[in-house]
Amino acid sequence: MKNNKSLFNEFKPVSTGQWEKKIVKDLKGKPYEKLIRKTAEGFDIKPFYREEDLEKIPFTQSRPGSFPFVRGKNITKNHWLVRQDIKVNDIFEANAKALDIRMRGVDSLGFVFTKGMEPEQRDLELLLENIRADVMELNFSGGDELKIVTAFDAMTKKYNRDLNRVNGSVNYDPLGYFSLNGRFRNSEEKDFQTLLKLYEAGKHLPRFQLLTIAAHMFHNSGGGIVSELAYALAMGVDYLTFLTDNGLSVDEAAPKIRFHFAIGSEYFMEIAKFRAFKLLWAKVVNAYGLDHADNATAHIHASNSIWNKTVYDAYVNMLRTTTETMSALVGGVDSLTVMPFDATYSTPDDFSERFARNQQLILKEESYFDKVADPAAGSYYIENLTSELVHYAWELFLETDKKGGYLAAFKSGDIQSRIKKEAADKDRNIALRKHSILGVNQYPNITERLDQLNNETVLYPANIDDKTVDVEPLRLYRGAMAFEQLRYKTDQYALTHPRPKVWMFTYGNLAMRRARSQFAGNFFGVAGFEIMDNPGFETVADGAAAARKANPDIVVLCAADNDYETMAAEAFKALKDDFIVVLAGFPAALVDSLKASGLQNFIHVKSNVLEELIRYQKMFGL
């Protein structure tokens, strides 16, 4: 220890001001403010954080397992359950699959009953044959939730299970159903009365959640993290208020509520999101007059975002789910379902399910993510993100509460309006490529072809019949859908027509012509057009002759701005009668004169890629 002190004494402390001076010097005249990033959530992220940035954050002094539980409920380890869902079409097949995957690292099973299935107690006994409810967490979605809880309670008593070790849930959420369908399943009164009956039926199952709040629907409708946190909190408060008004104590009501969140692609922000929600929920529950602090812990189940997954280049989904899984685990969720990479467009097979399952098993067994409680604690950056999310989500929650709570705000359309605006902002950023979706709006695999999808509806948002709704519902969709529709249209067109060909007229400065050729190939490849690159031409006449020999549909001029001064007008004049001519770049000094000569097609970094590609498709009659 003495040697260490001597070593560190050789290094003088560096103040924040000194660091900023060094940064400004290295920027060589560029403003320091350029390094400050404005988030979609409304706050700034500095280029670096230091210990002094933690001084005004009170929760950094809290310990794991202690109120307000920002550091989670576990004192020494980061325990979570590996969950896999099983679609139940046949009771015996579902049981066989459950018995198989429980031997492959799964310790939480989710049984999803298909529409029309109403399992009775005998069905549940067959479904759960040789599966112990006090060993495996058991979750149920679909069917009649009240019948399921009643039957499950009877089974635990029949087989003499230790009720304090029985974990699970039913996927009941009247507000979530209302938000996604624009109406209640039966009526507001009946659906909330069913909730009271569920609490009565499950009162002897202390670790079985009777409400699963669909917080994921905000993210998967294009909403931001602050909205996701605030509205999930508001839903929870609506339920707590109803339950406590109807005779339950908050200590009875709160532990039976589970939150199901989606995991987005912003790695550090997602870690902070889960930490922030734990604090927010503890704060709210405590306000109801809590007797036992442990009952203020949030029970969080997480699954991967659907919003950012793709049909094209679907193997990239594996990369997305890996980083998202890491975010959720570092953030301290209680259970996690990893989405198979092919779930966006087909029924997952054994390979994709195994790969999804093994992602979290590797992080647990080989990377030891389960060994340390709240590994993000003390990170200057993540602690500050957590604090900012707590602040902004709490403000939005209070706004919602002033409007009468979640249900009242949803009926008035305020919630949908905010989510739609956030989704539109995201869509615009995707169209402008400010937000990249690898393989879709950026760096497409130009050799990939989708001749026929088994279910083309996966390219479109779910359609809700306006005649059946009382209010506008949330609209679940994937951010890639508009670009996938575009590309799929090209793939279908190419089944009966020649695929549109884009030919690169490369000229002049080697570095710039290559850069612009790659940019143009990436640009038109997004639409599924065939890309034809070239090494470069010495003269415009040589390039024009080669273009006529190749006979493409589109010719893209690729050169440096100063080369365009001498070649653009000449090349356009030589090619305009035979091809659609496009110029890669936006040489400001030449644009007006080129437009005056008839050249109207320019592609550049500020182009709205989606709108432009739709325009080019229309030129081919797509």
Check which CATH number belongs to the domain holding 82 and give it.
3.20.20.240
Query: Which runs of consecutive H residues, i.e. helices, occur in 347-465?
Result: 350-365, 380-402, 406-412, 414-431
What pTM does this model have? Answer: 0.95
Let me know: does 185 contact 146? Beta carbons within 8 Å: no
Q: Which among 262, 158, 254 is positioned nearest to 217, based on CA atoms?
A: 262
Domain boundary among 382, 406, 430: 406
Q: What's the confidence (pLDDT) of residue 6? A: 65
Measured N-to-C along each axis, helices 588-596 and 561-575 cross at an angle, to the nearest 10 degrees, of 10
Phi-psi region of 249 (alpha: psi -120 to 50; beta: other; left: phi over 0): beta
Measured in degrees and rounded to the nearest 5, phi and psi for residue 371 equal -90, -20
Asked if residue 609 is part of any domain, the answer here is yes
Question: Tell me, what CATH number does 523's domain have?
Answer: 3.40.50.280
- The answer to whether 345 touches 458, Cβ cutoff 8 Å, is yes
Both 206 and 101 in one domain: the answer is yes
What's the pLDDT tens digit per position in 405-416?
999 999 999 999
Average pLDDT over residues 562-582: 97
Which of 599, 602, 505 lies closest to 544 in space, CA to CA? 505
| 487 part of a folded domain | no
**Res. 463: pLDDT tops 90:** no
What are 170's strand-pairing partners?
140
Tell me which residue of 211, 130, 137, 222 sits closest to 174, measured CA to CA. 211
The pLDDT assigned to 4 comes to 59
Indicate whether 512 and 396 sit together in one domain: no
Angle between helix 188-201 and helix 145-158 axes, rounded to 10 deg: 0
63 and 196 housed in the same domain: yes
Whether 480 shows a pLDDT value over 90: the answer reads: yes
Per-residue pLDDT, 465: 78
Q: Following DSSP, what letter does each residue of 146-211 receive, concatenated?
A: HHHHHHHHHHHHHTT--GGG--EEE---HHHHHHHHSS-SS-HHHHHHHHHHHHHHTTT-TTEESE
Residue 578 within any structural domain of the chain: yes
pLDDT at 7: 65
5: pLDDT strictly greater than 70:
no
**Is the pLDDT score of 112 beyond 90?**
yes
Closest listed residue to residue 523, CA positions, set 455, 456, 608: 608
Token reading at 610: 């989606």
How far is Cα 271 from Cα 381, in angstroms, rounded to an integer?
A: 11
- The domain boundary, picked from 354, 374, 406, lies at 406
| Secondary structure of 100-125 in HEC code, one letter for each residue | HHHHHCCCEEEEEECCCCCCCHHHHH
Query: Cβ neighbours of residue 61 under 8 Å, at least 6 residues apart?
Result: none
User: In angstroms, rounded to a whole number, what is the distance separating the alpha carbons of residues 440 and 613?
Assistant: 13
The pLDDT tens digits of the residues spanning 134-169 come to: 999 999 999 999 999 999 999 999 999 999 999 999
Per the CB < 8 A criterion, the answer to whether 213 and 257 are in contact is yes
- Taking 80 as the threshold, does the pLDDT of residue 9 lie above it? no
Residue 25 included in any domain: no
Query: What per-residue confidence (pLDDT) applies to 3?
Result: 58
**Cβ–Cβ contacts within 10 Å for residue 175, how many?**
25
Alpha-carbon separation of residue 147 from 124, 168, 174, 183, 213 (angstroms): 10, 15, 16, 22, 20
Does the pLDDT value for residue 493 go beyond 70?
A: yes
Say how many CA atoms lie within 13 Å of 68 toward its Cβ. Answer: 19
Between CA 193 and CA 275 the distance in angstroms is: 32
Q: Which residue has the tokens 């092919």?
A: 342
Q: What is the pLDDT of residue 622?
A: 87
41's tokens = 């959530």
Q: Map tokens 């550091």 to a residue.
A: 71
Tell me which residue range forms the domain holding 514. 497-619
> Is there a domain that residue 461 lies in?
no
CA 379 to CA 391: how far, in whole Å? 18
State pLDDT tens for residues 236-282: 999 999 999 999 999 999 999 999 999 999 999 999 999 999 999 99
Q: How far apart are CA 422 and CA 622, in angstroms?
A: 30
Q: Over pLDDT 90: what percentage of the chain?
A: 92
Q: What value does the mean pLDDT take over residues 474-493?
A: 97
- Residue % of the chain over a pLDDT of 70: 99
Do the domain assignments include residue 354?
yes
Domain boundary among 359, 376, 406: 406
Look at residue 10 in the predicted model and tell me its pLDDT: 75
In a domain, 416, yes or no: no
Per-residue H/E/C for 316-337: HHHHHHHHHHHHHHHHCCCEEE
| C-beta atoms surrounding 561 within 10 Å | 17
Q: Indicate the residue type of 385.
A: L
112 and 219 together in one domain: yes
| Backbone torsions φ then ψ of 541, nearest 5 degrees | -60, -40
Q: Higher pLDDT residue, 462 or 201? A: 201
The CA angle 395-399-403, to the nearest 5 degrees, is 165
Decide if 519 contacts 490 (C-beta within 8 A).
Answer: no
Residue 237 and residue 113 in one domain: yes
pLDDT of the residue at 8: 66
Mean confidence (pLDDT) of the chain: 95
Residue 2 confidence (pLDDT) above 80? no
| pLDDT 10s digits, 20-56 | 899 999 998 889 888 999 998 889 999 999 999 999 9
pLDDT(451) > 90:
no
Helix (H, G, I), strand (E, B) or coil at 132: coil
- d(CA 565, CA 38) in angstroms, rounded, equals 38
Do residue 293 and residue 161 come from a single domain? yes
Overall number of domains in the chain = 2
CA 215 – CA 141 distance, rounded (Å):
16
Residue 101 lies in a domain: yes
